[in-house]
Structure 1
Amino acid sequence: MTAQAPAATSRTAAPGAAEVDAFIDALWLEDGLSPNTLAAYRRDLLLYAAWLHAEHGLALPQTQEHHLQAYFAARAAGKATSANRRLTVFKRYFRWALREQLLQADPTLRLLTARQPLRVPKTLSEAQVEALLAAPDTDTPLGLRDRAMLELMYASGLRVSELVTLRTFNVGLAEGVLRVLGKGSKERLVPFGQEAADWLTRYLADGRPALLGQRQTEDLFITSAGRKPGTAMSRVMFWNLVKRYAREAGVHAPLSPHTLRHAFATHLLNHGADLRAVQMLLGHADISTTTIYTHVA
């Protein structure tokens, strides 16, 4: 395995570690999953392997369906989302182990995911969004930056991670289009409206040069303070800005870093947008993820 493999820094002699690390290597090479995802997969599998060894004196390839049922039953008090994540990891691992001839049958074949309650995203009314967007002081470079960020997120429905990693060359002001690198390194083109374009134009002309000073960077939204002024905003910084401006605007509704993304999708559907079109704009791989917005629209 190459030196960059995510699991390489934490190899141990824990039960099942060799099989799990071989599986993680395969995922890293074949699927290009993020280091955080791979670390979570590894942790779930090693916890199960340790339980299997402690409770039954067995190795991972000796797993039977009833072992998994007992393991899940022992953790039944947890959230359905956590149980389903673990089951997804186990299914992937045992399918791989079967292909590698480490076992003769897949013990997860008949295991079903747990039912999850419908989680409807919290969103804002159009009046609340307008108040939030108007909160920054646009007579200052920072206010111009923040207004442009908020307007662009509401106009495009970007994820926070997509917004803060935009580069100047990703923005087509004349066309009103963003070139966005989303989840799984999938690229998509996302349109935005004239209001967002106007604020972006003002920010690029007046706000960004003042924040940048003599520094050079292609990051679109940049900081003005800290150890590295003139570098890209972070997700945490953006989330803190949203909370601050919501307080200043008197918006007391439940908030999340993706509040404006949720509002974008909900308000589009309220105004008759096609569900498939909203799916494409949001970058959802599965339309069932987008369908949840119909419960708040």
Structure 2
Amino acid sequence: MIDRFLDAFWAERGAAAATLEAYRHDLQQFLAAVPVRAGSIDKSHVLAFLAGRMRSGVSTTSIVRQLSCLRQFFAWALRESIVSRNPMLDIDGPRRPQSLPGTLTAGQVEALLAVPDTETPLGLRDRAMLETLYATGMRVSELADLNLGRLNIGQGVIRVLGKGGRERLVPLGEAALDALQQWLRVRPELHPQDERVFVSRSGRPLSRQAVWQRIRDLARRAGIAEPVYPHRLRHSFATHLLDNGADLRVVQMLLGHADLATTQIYTHVSRARLKALHRQHHPRG
């Protein structure tokens, strides 16, 4: 039954593999905890399960995700006549805490970009990775999966394959384009094993974990005290665009967000930064 639901959910939504795996785990956990068959589950079973999760100290974020999973599952089960009523109706879960994404200042970004040794092939690769992440706001998975066929050096754009198989065109900018061109000239020296743009010393494609580790090491060398990870460059990309007057819908398109509400959190980051600058520099701040 779970397999059937996930197949339908993937077909309807184009859900990513990580989302499907999380939903599988959530459903297995829920159905194992409920003492009746799926067709007999009612609202009281759901509420008892959620109460147990809260008592066990599970994070609000995890519970919100499980609720979303159960809503999708029971809507499907009702359509498939597995249940005669939807037990999720009128169940309100906890609100997800709104945490503002961490960003780097423009000065910290410049310090980070200056670290790689551009006299070496790996230094040119690292500089190209950093410039590309900051210039495009790509997710680390999108960067790791980027292949040569998705780069249009002549037009200065990347065709990014994002979540749910959605594609978007993102401009590179002169600095990132120059860094990529320098890296691509020396890339053959590492004898790449496939068409992925960013490869290791041995020519194998860089994994997401390898990119994450490399950026963390470079940030440490740049003297940045707080943790730096690929998604922080994505947050910085969006916030700096809005700080400089970019339209919210343009930022949504560049980030590949399906919902504008997801992008709107960056407007809060921009306002928080502006308030901090006002307090710091205004005589009566």
Q: Tell me if TM exceeds 0.5.
A: yes
* 2:133 corresponding residue in structure 1: 153
Query: Quick one: which of 97, 121, 140 aligns to 2:77?
Result: 97
Amino acid at match of 1:179: R
Shift, 1:31, TM fit: 4.2
* 2:4 corresponding residue in structure 1: 22
User: Residues 51-110 of structure 1: CA distance to partner in whole angstroms, max 9, x if unpaired?
Assistant: 212xxxx21211111111111111123222111111111111111111111221111011
Q: Following the alignment from structure 1 to structure 2, what is the Cα–Cα distance between the partners of residues 95 and 241?
A: 43
Gaps of 5+ in 2: 271-285
Q: Following the alignment from structure 1 to structure 2, what is the Cα–Cα distance between the partners of residues 25 and 161?
A: 23
Query: Quick one: which of 129, 136, 139 aligns to 2:119?
Result: 139
Contact 1:162–1:180 (8 Å) recurs in 2: yes
* 1:70 corresponding residue in structure 2: 48
Query: Quick one: which of 197, 215, 222 aligns to 1:242?
Result: 215
Q: CA 1:172–1:60 in 2, change beyond 3 Å: closer, same or farther?
A: same
Pick which of 87-96 and 276-285 moved more.
87-96
Identity %: 49
Shift, 1:186, TM fit: 0.6
Q: Following the alignment from structure 1 to structure 2, what is the Cα–Cα distance between the partners of residues 267 and 209?
A: 34
User: Residues 259-282 of structure 1: CA distance to partner in whole angstroms, max 9, x if unpaired?
Assistant: 211111111111111111011000
User: Residues 136-183 of structure 1: CA distance to partner in whole angstroms, max 9, x if unpaired?
Assistant: 000001000110110111111111111111111211112111011000
Secondary structure at 1:188 match in 2? strand
Contact 1:144–1:203 (8 Å) recurs in 2: yes
Q: Following the alignment from structure 1 to structure 2, what is the Cα–Cα distance between the partners of residues 78 and 148?
A: 39
Secondary structure at 2:34 match in 1? helix
Contact 2:128–2:176 (8 Å) recurs in 1: yes
**Residues 1:230 and 2:169 are matched in the alignment:** no
Secondary structure at 1:105 match in 2? coil
* 1:290 corresponding residue in structure 2: 263
Amino acid at match of 2:188: P
Amino acid at match of 2:15: L
Q: How does 1:35-50 map to 2 (within 5 A)?
A: 35-50=17-32
* 2:68 corresponding residue in structure 1: 88
Paired residue total: 268
* 2:252 corresponding residue in structure 1: 279
Secondary structure at 1:178 match in 2? strand
**Residues 1:197 and 2:197 are matched in the alignment:** no
TM-score after normalising by structure 1: 0.86
**Residues 1:267 and 2:225 are matched in the alignment:** no
Contact 2:193–2:204 (8 Å) recurs in 1: no
Shift, 1:35, TM fit: 3.9
User: Residues 6-44 of structure 1: CA distance to partner in whole angstroms, max 9, x if unpaired?
Assistant: xxxxxxxxxxxxx33332343345444344333322221
Amino acid at match of 2:39: P
Q: Following the alignment from structure 2 to structure 1, what is the Cα–Cα distance between the partners of residues 104 and 172?
A: 19
Q: Following the alignment from structure 2 to structure 1, what is the Cα–Cα distance between the partners of residues 166 and 69?
A: 22
Q: Following the alignment from structure 2 to structure 1, what is the Cα–Cα distance between the partners of residues 101 and 134?
A: 15
Gaps of 5+ in 1: 1-18
Shift, 1:129, TM fit: 0.3
* 1:125 corresponding residue in structure 2: 105
Query: Quick one: which of 162, 166, 182 aligns to 2:162?
Result: 182
Contact 1:122–1:255 (8 Å) recurs in 2: no
* 2:144 corresponding residue in structure 1: 164
Structure 1 moving runs of 4+ over 6 Å: none
Pick which of 178-187 and 114-123 moved more.
114-123
Amino acid at match of 2:209: V
Contact 1:123–1:254 (8 Å) recurs in 2: no
Q: CA 1:39–1:217 in 2, change beyond 3 Å: closer, same or farther?
A: closer
TM-score after normalising by structure 2: 0.89
Q: Following the alignment from structure 2 to structure 1, what is the Cα–Cα distance between the partners of residues 16 and 175?
A: 35
